[in-house]
Structure 1
Amino acid sequence: MTQRALRAAIVGGGIGGLTAALALQRAGVDFRVYEQAKEFTEVGAGVALGPNAVRLLNRLGIESRLDAIASRPSAYQRRRWHDGKVIVDSRTAGLLGRRMSLTVHRAQLLDVLVSGVAERYLEPGKRCTAVEQRDDEVHLTFDDGSTAVADTVVGADGIHSVVRSAYQQDAPVFSGKIAYRGLVPMERLSFLGEDRHLHRMWLGPNQHFLTYPIAAGAVMNVVAFVPADGSWAVESWSAPGEVERLAEHFEGWDPTVLGIIGALDRTMRWALYDREPLPKWTFGRVTLLGDAAHSMLPHQGQGAGQSVEDAIVLARCLERARPDTVETWLHRYERIRKERTARVQSASRQSGEIYDLTDPKEQERRAASTLATKGEWLWGYDADEEFDKAVAGMKA
């Protein structure tokens, strides 16, 4: 008898979950994406996609749509906080060659991803409340009382993953930092001149300030990282912040920083958390992806990128799996990804520490290393190639 095809369920319709959906669709795997929101949407904020993620997304057939929404910063800069002096410029430091990230609006990226997935695979308005493995199936329960059954479940439901909590009892780790986010129409920033095309960061004691273009250059994404004041540590991307309060944090900084803050109409703030690497993230027929598996601080610009890498490797594993072999393939997925993601998590923490050093000389000395870490090992990585090597090693 011919064994039936695998049925996969993805819990979470963010960047990682929808990238997995696109890849599974192209592979001919039967799946459903269960998203708690009634629509597949994202918050108004920017996201960087390094070359390691872009090459994978392009292979999914969305290159032209991605290019239409992306900005391509012309260089990376690190600047001194009080006078704006350039400490490192990727065009002259020879650190990255021609490699640069694409920078996009999260909501626009999600629109591109979801538009490529057939509607029959998408189940919005389904908040998962429980996951239970029974014999050779996984049963999902949703808050509306409905249920679903699959051969395998992928938890792509973020740092507060319900799927993860069914198997691992741990808590996010607070970094002690808060980030303010905001968007500025580029027409308000004419005083920046050609610098509006750059990915720039001002480094100062205990805090730093980041800007880069998104939405095909029409909007500037602004992120300001400051110490928590002890009264607020809410892990929400959409909690309202006050532009006046943000400006107070940066009194005495480079006038360019203050000019950008002054162009903001509103800001959101969120407290920065990550998690310690898990001893494992596959549990029988259930596995994790993206922030649910390895949430990380944003200081390497790799949260989305690592979710994309996960999604591609997982899809290639599930393409080969059958109901009776899926556990084996899920463990292979984890083995391919686990060491890589733990290294990126660690690098993200280390970069954040450098960005906020209180010793200005030490900070300037180490600033170049925060760009050098984006070199061959990070941006040169090809998840498809790593999968092929792993499979070849299994056959040897």
Structure 2
Amino acid sequence: MSAQRFTPEFKEEAVKQVTERGYSVSEVAARLGVSTHSLYKWVKAASPGQSEQHSQELLQAKSEILRLRSQMRRIEEERDIFKKSRAVLGQGARMKYRFVNEHREQHAISLMCQLLCIARAGFYAWLHEPVSVRETEDQRLLELIRYSYTASHGVYGARRVFADLREAGELCGKHRVARIMREHKIKAVRGYKTPRKIAGRPSIIAPNHLQRQFTVDAPDKAWVTDITYIRTWQGWLYLAAVVDLYSRKVVGWSMKATLSRELVLDALLAAVWRRKPASQVLLHSDQGSQYGSDDFKRFCKAHGLLPSMSRRGNCWDNAVMESFFSSLKKERIRKRIYKTRDMARADVFDYIEVFYNRSRRHSHLGGVSPEAFERARA
């Protein structure tokens, strides 16, 4: 059957089999008994605009691929420049100029200057004068500084070296001399060591009455207290807590956004209101400024509390409070940063009043909660 014998209607229906019903040209040609070449010609003749559109889409796709490849090459080059220049990113402009000069054969100068935030004109000016007038003057002053330092047998600092230079007629500044000496690690040698803090020194405000006797035989005989920090996106939230050594129960607590005396006093006031001790209570703390204030001492005297303080820098003297704060941060906070202080307050309140005091099993109490221990011993 020749191509001239197919009617226009036959050709139209054959083309629809390919364009509208989704069959391939070879399948339609085999079913209708026509050659694939003829069917391709019919399809092309029926939709000339589609062929042109297809060609345009191909051209656009190729141009987009070329653009993306160029962009990828630039990104890779920027990555390589940053990897190579990480040692000079925080340095001055002259160090960056030196890096650009060393890598100008590998990367474009304009791109390196743009990424390192330096002016290209400044780089070309540096090429003509690599050492500035100020650097040359610094080198000259360095020789005079070393001469003065050596003449003093190494005991002169920046102020005395500066005095020598001014006496010699130099007009440099004191801070410039200090900077040059700092950059070249020239500093005065002293014949004594810097005094350091002495850990373990007893408090002069209150003696250590507790002496690490963390086991007591009755409630409200000895309390321990301390302050810890909780991170939020709004800033620190400070928690002061009071623990009864008899049952390890948190008998008082307070949370505030500032580290003030009221933080400690509110926690103690809550403990006094809740427990209403009938006799004097030993109150142990560290040597924080809040526990050494006059308001704290007056509060203790008015409510029958006997202050006791740990040795300086010795966390073992207040180990029970350190253990409670450690449990709080490991079991509830878990290195989390709360969004707001209110969210932190709610979570810490839930841990202390709902979980820790009422249901958390304590190893020191034989595996029962502090409230269950007190009820059993009542």
Q: TM-score, normalised by structure 2?
A: 0.21
* Structure number having the greater helix percentage: 2
* Structure number having the greater strand percentage: 1
Larger radius of gyration: 2
Q: Which has the higher contact order (CA 8 A, sep 6+)?
A: 1
